[in-house]
């Protein structure tokens, strides 16, 4: 028998002694006194059953011959109790047992059968064996419980670690600027992060459990091949694809894909990381265009030099021929040849201006006088079917410029305007002082904060198609018939404006004409106030909610920031259809709509008509590059709504004063 004390984790063994003779029970307790076991006595079978119901025992030592309920009956009832079926039983008897008694005892689960009088050493030895077995069993149970608790604790800790990892991954996926999309083997989406919504336009609720929605029919075969290869275990890195936004816009994408597997190595789907490189592609095209222009400029410069060498002797030879050929016919022919030479020389000067930025003498120019002189020339030379209108501020600032080159810019633009109005129309030239602030500059890249003179040349012609607007400043690009245009006019205009530190913007809408706005750094008087002087006087909002609809994200952003910085709340819409949806959702809160007129899906005018059906008392500020003049137009009340036109781009001051006037100065009774 072990002499070590019982561990707190292992309960002390309990023995149930059952005998109707008190002396026998006492003797049994004495025999087992030195064993590490608790002996519980029971003087009858009924009492033994009560102990079995209330306690657990390592061993039962039970007399067979007892009144009312003998040992066999008691054992039979004990074995019917589920928790007591495993308890070993040693039967005791004073009678010479028959084989039938022995067989019955063992059939009831007895582990031994002893005869009275009992030899103490034998009984002690047998009981010690079963007590040891009990203690070993309890020790194993205790170890199992300890291991179970340790395992549960490890699982709990691991689950906490996994939860932290999962939260971290969710945060990374949510904060990623790249779209992260995962699909299963059936190509149904089960992961769609916020960037995917921002890039493609569909919310997670709209795509979860469905096929990806951004594959157009013409790209379906390409997409199926991509998906098939990804599901076969092939990974992709920085693969360029073109896909479609919800609004129909085409996106240039950089896609990386990786196959996903389960714990058995079977393919479960794949995940893609998508980067929108649409703007990057546009910048690459602009860079390539700039490099191409630079190459063309270098080439044009060399060609112009050679052509001047060719024309110079021709021009001198013509003067000699005039002296030798005095008849009228020859002189007329020489006049025609000299005209061609002069035209060629002028064309070469234009090429050089574009190619090398030839800069003449810069002087202080009275801008107002320059525009008035230009008007006089146009009135005398343009067809009578074209009306020329000059609208110039009286205090127009001066420029530091080459007068000849600025005059060339104006004439080139006006000649193009004439060609755009073959059936007549209206040509308007305006001049305005502008103090450009950060808002204006962010809406109009290429400019700096400071004073400018803005000269606008606007016609009412057929307009310039959207697909060629980004090409018109390229050299040798022209839409005119062969022999009617060199394609150098606008490229020369752009070169001259850049050489003067300025910038030129084009606005055109089909059927509404074209507007060129030239921004030239001005030299205002010292008394002119800087934009910072006016900031304190700008009107502030009182929490009014304004809807800004514009397809240019940069314009929406700077307009929102400007309005929010001055006390307004702002909702954004990326096109007319989106604007109608946003307005319908917040119709009771929105007090003013600021909308661009030229937007995809649904243009500004169509959107305004739809909104007026929702709210006939709608207040609207229209923004457009094609306006009556560069000043904020007066408010006018149409049949349904209050409308104000704001020229684009606009300064923060122009925006805020127009908003304030519409909200608080144009209410109708």
What DSSP line would sit under 148-159, residue for residue? HHHHHHHHHHHH
Which segments of 566-603 does DSSP mark as H helices, in order? Answer: 576-585
Which residues 6+ apart lie within 8 Å of 540 measured at CB? 566, 567
Check pLDDT > 60 for residue 624. yes
- Bigger pLDDT: 504 or 290? 504
In a domain, 429, yes or no: yes
Which residues 6+ apart lie within 8 Å of 297 measured at CB? 354, 355, 356, 475
Same domain, yes or no: 209 and 302: no
At residue 295, the pLDDT reads: 64
Check pLDDT > 70 for residue 110. yes
pLDDT band at 476 (very low <50, low <70, confident <90, very high): low
Q: Which domain-ending residue is among 225, 257, 276?
A: 276
Same domain, yes or no: 372 and 459: yes
At residue 455, the pLDDT reads: 92
pLDDT band at 222 (very low <50, low <70, confident <90, very high): confident
d(CA 589, CA 583): 9
pLDDT-wise least confident of 361-370, 455-464, 542-551: 361-370
At residue 482, the pLDDT reads: 46
Q: Taking the CA atoms of 401, 402, 405 and 411 in sequence, report the sign of the dihedral they define.
A: positive
pLDDT in tens, 495-522: 888 888 888 888 887 778 899 999 999 8
Tell me the average pLDDT across 38-63.
Answer: 89
Q: What is the DSSP letter of 627?
A: -
- The total of structural domains in the chain comes to 5
At residue 462, the pLDDT reads: 85
CB 511 within 8 A of CB 524: no
SS3 68: coil
- Bigger pLDDT: 255 or 339? 255
Same domain, yes or no: 517 and 406: yes
Same domain, yes or no: 43 and 96: yes
CB 516 within 8 A of CB 504: yes
pLDDT band at 438 (very low <50, low <70, confident <90, very high): confident
Same domain, yes or no: 639 and 500: no
In a domain, 31, yes or no: yes
Same domain, yes or no: 233 and 348: no
For residue 107, give the H/E element and its range.
Answer: helix 99-107
Same domain, yes or no: 344 and 405: no
Tell me the average pLDDT across 225-230.
Answer: 81
Q: Which domain-ending residue is among 220, 243, 276?
A: 276
Same domain, yes or no: 367 and 492: yes
CB 575 within 8 A of CB 549: yes
In a domain, 163, yes or no: no
Q: What is the mean pLDDT of the chain?
A: 80
pLDDT in tens, 119-129: 888 888 888 88
Q: Report the share of the chain in percent with pLDDT over 90.
A: 12
Domain with 319 in it: what CATH number?
A: 1.10.287
Q: 609 is written with which tokens?
A: 């008509």
Tell me the average pLDDT across 472-490.
Answer: 58
Which residues 6+ apart lie within 8 Å of 529 measured at CB? 435
Q: Which domain-ending residue is among 318, 352, 386?
A: 352
207: containing domain? 176-276
d(CA 506, CA 516): 5
Which residues 6+ apart lie within 8 Å of 95 measured at CB? 64, 65, 101
In a domain, 170, yes or no: no
In a domain, 2, yes or no: no
pLDDT in tens, 153-212: 999 999 988 888 888 888 888 888 888 998 898 888 889 999 988 888 888 888 898 888
Tell me the average pLDDT across 619-641.
Answer: 57
pLDDT in tens, 418-429: 988 988 899 999
Residue 47, beta-bridge partner list: none
Query: Which residue is associated with the tokens 């028998």?
Result: 1
At residue 428, the pLDDT reads: 93
Exposed e or buried b per residue across 481-496, where buried means at least 16 C-beta atoms within 10 angstroms of its C-beta: eeeebeebbbbbbbbb
Check pLDDT > 50 for residue 637. no
Which segments of 325-366 does DSSP mark as H helices, in order? Answer: 328-356
In a domain, 336, yes or no: yes
Same domain, yes or no: 545 and 503: no
CA within 13 Å, CB half, 431 = 22
Same domain, yes or no: 313 and 391: no
Check pLDDT > 90 for residue 416. no
For residue 166, give the H/E element and its range.
Answer: helix 120-175
d(CA 78, CA 81): 6
Same domain, yes or no: 396 and 516: yes
Most confident of 13-17, 111-115, 311-315, 554-558: 13-17
d(CA 396, CA 370): 11
- Measured in residues, the chain has a length of 669
Q: 401 is written with which tokens?
A: 């410029």
Check pLDDT > 60 for residue 408. yes
pLDDT in tens, 259-277: 889 888 888 888 989 888 8
Check pLDDT > 80 for residue 550. yes
Same domain, yes or no: 424 and 452: yes
In a domain, 590, yes or no: yes
Domain with 45 in it: what CATH number?
A: 3.40.50.2300
At residue 84, the pLDDT reads: 83
At residue 530, the pLDDT reads: 45
In a domain, 507, yes or no: yes
pLDDT band at 640 (very low <50, low <70, confident <90, very high): very low
């Amino acid at each position: 028998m072990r002499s070590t004390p019982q561990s707190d984790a292992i309960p002390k063994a309990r023995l149930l002694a059952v005998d109707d003779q008190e002396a026998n029970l006492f003797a049994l307790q004495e025999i087992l006194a030195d064993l590490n076991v608790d002996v519980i006595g029971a003087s009858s079978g009924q009492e033994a059953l009560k102990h079995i119901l209330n306690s657990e025992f390592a061993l039962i030592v039970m007399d067979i011959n007892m009144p009312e309920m003998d040992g066999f009956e008691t054992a039979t009832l004990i074995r019917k109790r589920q928790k007591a079926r495993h308890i070993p039983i040693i039967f005791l008897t004073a009678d010479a047992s028959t084989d039938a008694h022995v067989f019955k005892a063992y059939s009831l689960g007895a582990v031994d059968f002893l005869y009275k009088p009992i030899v103490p050493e034998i009984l002690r030895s047998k009981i010690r064996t079963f007590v040891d077995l009990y203690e070993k069993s309890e020790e194993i149970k205790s170890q199992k419980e300890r291991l179970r608790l340790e395992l549960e604790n490890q699982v709990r800790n691991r689950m906490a670690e996994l939860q932290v990892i999962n939260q971290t991954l969710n945060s990374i996926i949510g904060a990623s600027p790249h779209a992260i999309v995962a699909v299963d083997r059936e190509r149904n989406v089960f992961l769609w992060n916020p960037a995917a919504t921002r890039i493609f336009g569909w919310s997670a609720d709209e795509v979860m459990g469905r096929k990806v929605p951004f594959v157009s029919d013409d790209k379906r075969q390409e997409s199926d091949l991509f998906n098939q290869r990804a599901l076969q275990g092939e990974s992709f890195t920085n693969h360029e694809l073109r896909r479609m936004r919800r609004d129909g816009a085409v996106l240039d994408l950089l896609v990386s894909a990786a196959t996903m597997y389960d714990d058995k190595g079977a393919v479960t789907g794949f995940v893609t990381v998508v980067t929108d490189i649409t703007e990057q592609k546009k910048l690459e095209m602009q860079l390539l265009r700039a490099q191409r222009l630079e190459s063309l400029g270098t080439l044009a410069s060399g060609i112009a030099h050679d052509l001047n060498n060719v024309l110079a002797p021709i021009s001198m030879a013509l003067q000699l021929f005039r002296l030798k050929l005095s008849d009228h016919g020859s002189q007329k022919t020489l006049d025609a040849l000299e005209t061609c030479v002069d035209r060629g020389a002028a064309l070469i000067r234009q090429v050089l201006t574009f190619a090398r930025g030839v800069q003449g003498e810069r002087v202080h120019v009275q801008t107002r006088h320059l525009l008035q002189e230009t008007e006089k020339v146009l009135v005398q030379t343009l067809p009578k079917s074209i009306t020329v209108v000059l609208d110039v501020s009286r205090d127009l600032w001066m420029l530091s410029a080459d007068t000849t080159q600025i005059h060339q810019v104006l004439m080139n633009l006006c000649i193009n305007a004439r060609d755009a109005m073959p059936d007549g129309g209206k040509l308007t030239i305006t001049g305005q002082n502008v103090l450009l602030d950060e808002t204006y500059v962010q809406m109009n890249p290429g400019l700096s904060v400071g004073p400018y003179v803005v000269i606008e040349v606007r016609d009412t012609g057929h307009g310039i198609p959207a697909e060629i607007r980004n090409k018109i400043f390229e050299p040798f690009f022209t839409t005119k018939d062969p022999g009617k245009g060199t394609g150098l006019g606008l490229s020369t205009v752009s070169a001259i404006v850049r050489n003067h530190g300025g910038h030129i913007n084009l606005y055109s809408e089909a059927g509404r004409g074209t507007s060129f706005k030239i921004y030239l750094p001005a030299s205002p008087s010292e008394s002119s106030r800087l934009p910072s002087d006016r900031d304190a006087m700008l009107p502030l909002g009182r929490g009014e909610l304004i809807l800004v609809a514009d397809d240019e994200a940069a314009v929406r952003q700077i307009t929102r920031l400007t309005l929010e910085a001055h006390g307004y709340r702002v909702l954004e819409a990326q096109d007319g259809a989106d604007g109608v949806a946003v307005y319908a959702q917040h119709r009771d809160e929105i007090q003013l709509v600021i909308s661009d007129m030229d937007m995809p899906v649904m243009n500004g005018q169509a959107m305004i008509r739809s909104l007026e059906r929702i709210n006939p008392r709608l207040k609207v500020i229209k923004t457009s590059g094609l306006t009556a003049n560069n000043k904020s137009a007066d408010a006018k009340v149409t049949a349904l709504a209050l409308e104000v036109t704001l020229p684009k781009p606009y300064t923060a001051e122009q925006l805020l004063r127009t908003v304030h006037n519409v909200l608080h100065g144009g209410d109708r009774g």
